[in-house]
């Protein structure tokens, strides 16, 4: 019978291994998500930095454009264009950082259009200044003061920055939830494995205790069995001696019976009369040599055949079998003496004689008969 405890231990170790693999896979995925989230956070902070730089350079460009309108210094104009081009450079970087967000891309396109419009305004002020048209410069500035491109630019920048900060907050909350989930899963896996390990230790301890108890029981059983074997060996030795004595006695008895049987056969064979040994069914089972000599038949031709084929007795009634009296005598266990009978030889001649029948008994049961026939005429 196979040990089910060993299979249970194998199963528990398999479950523990599956839990460890599952926790490891979950932890690796959480780490990968955290790495991706960290990359996204860095990218978001870079986008915020670019937006802040855009706003700062845009405000600097606005200030330098108005300074140039007042002073007419070419260096102020150059600084103004440099600030606006810096805005466009930060704008290009912001576009690359937020290429996956269609809403931000649309807002950045609007900011680019505003910057291009401010460059056009700065160029027109430069042309009016170079032509000495100070009045045109003032009118251009007054018209620009009636519009809201700068306020809209700042509003869009602030809205984009706030949206990025909101995304960062959402990502922080999501990272916190993932971290909590990871701690829970890892803790649950460790606790479950500890419980399973305890179950394995308990199974091993219980199995060892059971095996020790079984070993003690087997040792006790072996001791009792050895005692019984020794007792049984002694009994068998005594029985063997007794059987040896009985076998010797039986052997001597058998030899004595065989010797007596040979004596009986020798006696029967020396009788001058015809001797038939019959079964209860009146079949010939043994005969002496005189029978074969008197009938002229071989012993094999007579043995096993009915006696009626060789002897004929006078019938008591007409039509009755000639062996009816012989059969009744054998069946009833009666003896017949000096009863007339005739012997049939191999030539079909009947020879008269006198028949005697002695029943054979075994434990008071008739098992056959001995028929002795004395012929009245010499052989």
Three-state secondary structure readout of 57-79: HHHHHHHHHHHHHHHCCHHHHHH
Task: Clarify whether residues 154 and 283 are in a common domain.
Answer: no
Q: Which own/partner pairs from 352-359 qualify as long-range (CB within 8 Å, at least 24 positions apart)?
A: 352/376, 352/377, 353/274, 355/311, 355/313, 357/326, 357/329, 357/330, 359/329, 359/330, 359/333, 359/334, 359/335
Residue 317 has pLDDT above 60, yes or no: no
Sequence-separated (6 or more) residues with CB below 8 Å from residue 295:
302, 310, 343, 344, 345, 346
Q: Which range of residues forms the domain containing residue 323?
A: 271-375
> For 159-191, what is each residue's pLDDT tens digit?
888 888 888 888 888 888 888 888 888 889 899
pLDDT given at position 195: 92
Helices 4-71 + 102-130 axis angle, to 10: 20
pLDDT given at position 268: 64
Domain tally, the chain: 2
d(CA 205, CA 144): 91
Q: Which residue has the higher pLDDT, 127 or 38?
A: 127
Kindly state whether residue 245 falls inside one of the protein's structural domains. no
Task: Clarify whether residues 173 and 307 are in a common domain.
Answer: no
Tell me the CATH number at 371.
Answer: 3.30.450.20
Last residue of a domain, one of 204, 230, 247: 204
> For 16-40, what is each residue's pLDDT tens digit?
889 899 888 988 888 888 777 777 7
Task: Clarify whether residues 285 and 190 are in a common domain.
Answer: no
Residue 355 has pLDDT above 60, yes or no: yes
Q: Of 150-159, 194-203, 225-234, 362-371, which range is least confident?
A: 362-371
> For 105-116, what is each residue's pLDDT tens digit?
888 888 888 888
Residue 76 has pLDDT above 70, yes or no: yes
Sequence-separated (6 or more) residues with CB below 8 Å from residue 345:
294, 295, 296, 297, 351
CB atoms < 10 A from the CB of 122, how many?
21
């Amino acid at each position: 019978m196979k040990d089910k405890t060993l299979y249970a231990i194998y199963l528990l170790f398999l479950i523990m291994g599956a839990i460890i693999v599952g926790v490891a896979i979950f932890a690796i995925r959480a780490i990968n998500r955290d790495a991706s989230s960290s990359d996204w956070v860095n990218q978001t902070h870079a986008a915020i930095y670019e937006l802040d730089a855009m706003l700062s350079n845009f405000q600097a460009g606005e200030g330098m454009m108005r300074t140039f309108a007042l002073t007419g210094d070419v260096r102020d104009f150059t600084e103004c264009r440099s600030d606006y081009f810096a805005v466009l450079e930060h704008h290009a970087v912001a576009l690359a950082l937020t290429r996956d967000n269609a809403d931000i891309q649309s807002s950045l396109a609007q900011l680019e259009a505003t910057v291009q419009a401010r460059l056009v305004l700065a160029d027109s002020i430069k042309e009016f200044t170079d032509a000495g048209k100070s009045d045109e410069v003032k009118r251009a500035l007054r018209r620009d003061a009636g519009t809201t491109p700068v306020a809209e630019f700042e509003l869009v920048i602030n809205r984009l920055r706030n949206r990025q900060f909101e995304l960062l907050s959402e990502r922080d909350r999501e990272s916190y939830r993932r971290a909590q989930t990871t701690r829970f899963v890892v803790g649950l896996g460790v606790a479950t494995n500890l419980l399973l390990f305890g179950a394995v230790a308990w199974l091993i301890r219980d199995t060892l205790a059971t095996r020790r108890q079984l070993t003690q029981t087997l040792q006790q059983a072996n001791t009792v069995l050895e005692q019984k074997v020794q007792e049984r060996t002694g009994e068998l030795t005594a029985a063997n001696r007794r059987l040896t004595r009985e076998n010797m006695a039986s052997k001597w008895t058998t030899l004595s019976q065989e010797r007596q049987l040979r004596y009986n056969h020798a006696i029967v064979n020396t009788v001058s009369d015809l001797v038939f040994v019959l079964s209860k069914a009146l079949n010939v089972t043994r005969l002496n040599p005189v029978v074969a000599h008197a009938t002229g038949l071989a012993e094999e031709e007579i043995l096993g055949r009915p006696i009626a084929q060789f002897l004929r007795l006078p019938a008591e009634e007409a039509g009755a079998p000639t062996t009816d009296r012989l059969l009744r005598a054998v069946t009833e266990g009666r003896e017949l003496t000096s009863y007339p009978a005739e012997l049939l030889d191999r030539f079909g001649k009947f020879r008269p004689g006198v028949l005697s029948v002695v029943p054979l008994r075994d434990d008071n049961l008739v098992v056959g008969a001995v028929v002795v026939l004395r012929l009245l005429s010499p052989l």
